[in-house]
């Protein structure tokens, strides 16, 4: 691997902060992702980062719904 390629990869990794990935995943989850951001994600992003963050966000959403349902059932006395 040449020095230019390794510098390019490190630039891409730095441009792809966890906050930016998280924001992009949330925006796509709610269906409000802009075309510009989507194109940036596909151009700069590594797919596995988005898959991992997406899985974590989806799991957190499922756990939140489960918790709310348990609380409602408990407060209703069922």
Q: Give the residue extent of every domain in the chain.
A: 3-76
pLDDT value of residue 42:
83
Residue 10 confidence (pLDDT) = 47
Kindly give the interhelix angle for 47-76 and 18-30, rounded to the nearest 10 degrees.
60
Question: Residue-wise pLDDT tens for the chain (78 aa)?
Answer: 555 454 445 445 455 788 888 988 988 888 888 888 888 888 886 888 889 999 999 999 999 999 999 999 999 887
Residue 37 has a pLDDT of: 83
pLDDT of residue 30: 85
Which of these, 47, 57, 70, lies nearest to 25 by C-alpha position? Answer: 57
Q: What is the pLDDT of residue 77?
A: 83
- Calculate helix-pair angle for 18-30, 35-44, nearest 10 degrees: 130
């Amino acid at each position: 691997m040449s020095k230019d390629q390794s510098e390019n990869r490190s630039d891409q990794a730095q441009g792809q902060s966890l906050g930016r990935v998280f924001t992009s995943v949330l925006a796509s989850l709610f269906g409000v992702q802009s075309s510009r951001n989507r194109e940036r994600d596909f151009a700069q992003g590594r797919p596995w980062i988005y898959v991992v963050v997406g899985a974590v966000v989806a799991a957190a959403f499922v756990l939140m719904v489960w918790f709310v349902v348990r609380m409602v059932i408990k407060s209703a006395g069922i």
